A and B are shown apart, each in its own frame.
Chain A
Amino acid sequence: MRLTLVIVWIALVAAAVAAMFHISFEVEKLEARLHDVNRQIVREQEAIHVLQAEWSYLNRPQRLEALSQELLPNLTPVASTQFTTFARLPKRSETNGADENTSIAPAGFAPTAESIARGRLQ
């Protein structure tokens, strides 16, 4: 009886010790991983920081303007003549009619047909 008790206690102690060591090693392992991950995050953040600067550098308005003029020659800044209001839009029923020349531009700003055809507005 006593012996059983003692054995049980010894077993419990051994189990506790084993569990403790196990947990402690696991924690150490996790901490090492956390350390690595954190270091990696810092590295990534630094890389993002550098990339942000590069992004801003590559998006300089001067550069974008030059690129746009070279690669998108038909895309020019919006001219005031390109704006209109809903009130000026022709009604659906009207557009079905033969009147193809309904201008949706504000009065006085009607762009010439040629400039529309070329996709540009002066």
Chain B
Amino acid sequence: MIERLKRARRLAHPVPPAQRGQRRRPCVPCPPESNIGPAREAIETGRMRLTITGAILTLAFAVVGLRLVDVSMLQAAVEPRALHAPKTASLQFNRADIVDRNGILLATSLPTASLYADPRQVLDPAVAAQRLVEVFPELDRAQLETRLASKRAFVWIKRDVTPREQWNVIRLGLPGIEFRREETRVYPQGRLMSHVLGYVDVDERGIAGIERRFERELRDRSTPLALSIDMRMQHALCGELASAQREFEALGAAGLILDVRTSEVMALCSLPDFDPNEAGTAVGDARFNRVALGVYELGSAFKIFNTAMALDAGIARLDDRYDATKPLKISRFTIRDFHAKQRWLSVSEIFMYSSNIGSARLALEVGGEAQQAFLGRIGLLKPSEIELPEVGAPLVPDVWRPISTMTIGFGHGIAVSPLQMAAGVAAMVNGGTFRQPTLIKRGDGAVPAQRVISERTSKQVRQLMRLVVEKGTGSRADAPGYLVGGKTGTAEKSGSGGYQRRALLSSFVGTFPTDDPRYVVFALLDEPKGNKKTHGYATGGWVAAPIVGKVVRKIGPIAGIRPQDPDVPPIRRDLAMDRTPGARTLASF
């Protein structure tokens, strides 16, 4: 176009070629004659218009160019195109996994298919129902047919079908029958962790246990939730409890292992148990958590607290003696000894022979108020703060009468959960600091500790507990090399019309290694029946102590505890009784 204009100009004003070549800028020459004015004006107008048009076009192109740079280079950072691509880190499930302290998978969510139907698209409900029942024999045909014939747009046929079932349904090729991707909660360990983990409903909502307690956390977090449980210890404990339960035909069994330094629960087992994968099929009281929810009068094991309390308060020393010659009568109650010695007993003997009379006298001397305060400090008067929804509130006397003080001295008239018991014992042996037990993996010092007794008293309690296993009622709890210490507990269950002689709660609470305790192991059998091997006895020393002994033998190597020779001098010295100089040596040692 510009060329054409130039050509027109040249035609109008021919100039010599030499002149034209020299001119750089196209400039319209002005001829001397003025009679060509109109033509010049026209050319001027043309030039003007050309300049304006050019300027506008240049501007427009500049805008387009800038926008191009903007779109192609600058905008890319704001709106990445990879947005539409699936992100690799985006594999998210509705619920986080639960793992044990070593990272072993305990609960996870797996993708699964659920079968549903759009009845509007189902051609022949009768045929479809017939075909589906062939794949799922457990479905009710008539009911399925009415549902497929309904006018709704969505009906569930079956949730969580297996891949094989899914394939079989796809092969039927029925229109209107579709799958929806869902998730299902899977517990690979089965019934081993039932009472800890709890279970979820079909929509993955926590119903019990950790699943319920951490419902929101599990939905929010992307990393697995690590429990304090050690699967290997859990297996050792549950296995021993189960075989003891079978052997003594007990109604149930409960046990736990507690780390005394951090109060982390290493294992928690309640029998009978259930399979959390099929929680609906649990029968009877299988879903009842005997460790945290059940509260029991645990009997003589309470003498650990009673003795520690008396020693710590400075009311008694280990070799102070108390009258246990005859049963103690108070109002309408009579306190008797099971292993009656019918003589004066020292504090260590009261503990070793599990004397109820002596313990009652000790408790009375300490006094009800101090006893109540002490039991409160070690968490026995309030429900445990463990991370489970199923936590039993202890049963304590409304009015703390002297008789309550006396019976509580040997573990009657107060019902606590095995969990509270173990946590209390942990505080007695770990140097005297109490921590609330926890099911979540924590490091050292993460759980606030509270001093409840002195280091010295704690050491004395350990010596007493070792004595019970070495020479007293708990000898069957011994595990060579692991220096087990403990206390038996046998309580009659209270039923209608007082205590039942035949229905016992036999327990043993042990700790090892006694010179520097790492774990507290508790085992309880509900209504065990004595057999030939136990000479008909079903007391804690006969039925529960062996469980603890066997568990310690199994978990000692797992925990990496070096077996020690109990007869080497440093251990002897450490575990020997502190004697007040000049005190009488007792014949029974």
* Cα A52 to Cα B564 with chains together (Å): 39
B111 contacts partner chain A, Cβ-Cβ < 8 Å: yes
Given A31-B81, A56-B104, A41 contacting B192 (CB threshold 8 A): no
* Interface residues as binary, B81-111 with A (CB distance below 8 Å gives 1, 0 otherwise): 1101111101101000000000011101011
Determine whether B556 belongs to the interface, using a CB cutoff of 8 Å to chain A: yes
Within 8 A of A (CB), among B453-508: 479-482
Distance of A42 Cα from B181 Cα, bound (Å): 15
Closest Cβ of chain B: how far from A92's Cβ, in Å?
24
Footprint of A on B, CB under 8 Å? 81-82, 84-88, 90-91, 93, 104-106, 108, 110-111, 186, 188-190, 192, 231-232, 234-235, 239, 479-482, 553-554, 556-557, 562-567
Check B85 against A35 for contact (C-beta < 8 Å).
Answer: yes
Closest CB of chain B to A122's CB: distance in Å?
10
* Alpha-carbon gap, A105 to B481, bound state (A): 12
The answer to the question of A29 belonging to the interface, with a C-beta cut-off of 8 Å to chain B, is no
A108 to B480 CA separation, bound complex (whole angstroms): 9
Q: By the criterion CB–CB under 8 Å, are B108 and A49 in contact? A: yes
Contact with B along A48-82 (1 / 0, CB 8 A): 01101111110111100100000000000111110
Most B Cβ at <10 Å: residue of A27, A54, A56: A56
Cα of A79 to Cα of B552 in the assembled complex, Å = 11
A54 to B565, CA, bound (A): 42
A38 touches B88 (CB 8 A): yes
Contact of B90 among A42, A53, A62 (CB under 8 A): A42
Report Cα–Cα, A49/B86, bound state, in Å.
18
Contact residues in B for A39 (Cβ distance below 8 Å) = 86
Is A109 part of the contact surface with B, judged by Cβ < 8 Å? yes
Residues A38 and B481 in contact, CB atoms below 8 Å apart: no
Contact present for B481 and A49 (CB under 8 Å): no
With the chains together, A11 CA to B565 CA distance in Å?
Answer: 94
Question: Can you sample 5 A-B contacts with CB below 8 Å?
Answer: A56-B106, A61-B192, A62-B192, A77-B553, A81-B563
B170 to chain A, nearest CB (A): 19
- Beta-carbon contact of B479 and A80 below 8 Å: yes
Count of chain A residues with a beta carbon within 8 Å of a chain B beta carbon = 34
Whether A107 contacts B188 by the Cβ 8 Å rule is: no
The one of B85, B110, B192, B563 that contacts A53, using a Cβ cutoff of 8 Å: B110
Verify A62–B235 contact, CB threshold 8 A: yes
Chain B, interface SS category: mixed
- Docked Cα-Cα span, A80 to B567, in Å, equals 15
**Roughly how many angstroms separate A17 CA and B563 CA in the complex, as a whole number?**
81
Q: By the criterion CB–CB under 8 Å, are B188 and A57 in contact?
A: yes
Cα distance A27–B81 in the bound complex, in angstroms: 10
Question: Are the CB atoms of B108 and A80 closer together than 8 Å?
Answer: no
Instruction: Determine whether the beta carbon of A42 is less than 8 Å from that of B88.
Output: yes
- Assembled-state Cα–Cα distance A108/B85 (Å): 69
A102 within 8 A of B: no
Interface pair A45/B91, CB less than 8 Å apart: yes
Bound-state CA distance A65–B479 (Å) is: 21
Contact A60 B190 (CB under 8 A): yes
Across-interface contacts of B554 in A (CB, < 8 A): 77
CB closest residue in chain B, given A45:
B91
Contact yes or no, A109 B565, CB < 8 A: yes
Whole-angstrom distance between the alpha carbons of A50 and B82 in the complex?
28
A61 touching B567 by the CB < 8 A rule? no
In the complex, A34 has a CB within 8 A of chain B: yes
Q: Which residues of B contact A106 (CB under 8 A)?
A: 481, 563-565
Known: A53-B186, A83-B481. A42 touches B86 (CB 8 A): yes
The interface residues of chain A lying within 8 Å CB-to-CB of B557 are 77-78, 80
Residues in B neighbouring A59, C-beta threshold 8 A: 104
A60-B563 in contact (CB<8A): no
A49-B108, A57-B188, A107-B565 given. 9 additional CB < 8 A pairs? A27-B81, A38-B88, A45-B88, A59-B104, A78-B557, A80-B482, A106-B564, A108-B565, A109-B565
Q: Does the CB pair A109–B481 fall under 8 Å?
A: yes
- Is B86 within 8 A of A38, CB to CB? yes
Tell me the complex Cα distance, A45–B93, Å.
Answer: 12
A83 — which chain B residues lie within 8 A by C-beta?
481, 562-563
Give the contacting residue for A80; candidates B106, B111, B188, B481; CB below 8 A.
Answer: B481
Nearest A-chain residue to B231, judged by Cβ: A61
Q: Does A26 sit within 8 A of B, measured CB to CB?
A: no
A61–B232 CB distance below 8 A: yes
State which of A34, A53, A77 has its C-beta within 8 Å of the C-beta of B105. Answer: A53
Q: Of A35, A42, A46, A80, which is in contact with the most chain B CB atoms at under 10 Å from its CB?
A: A80
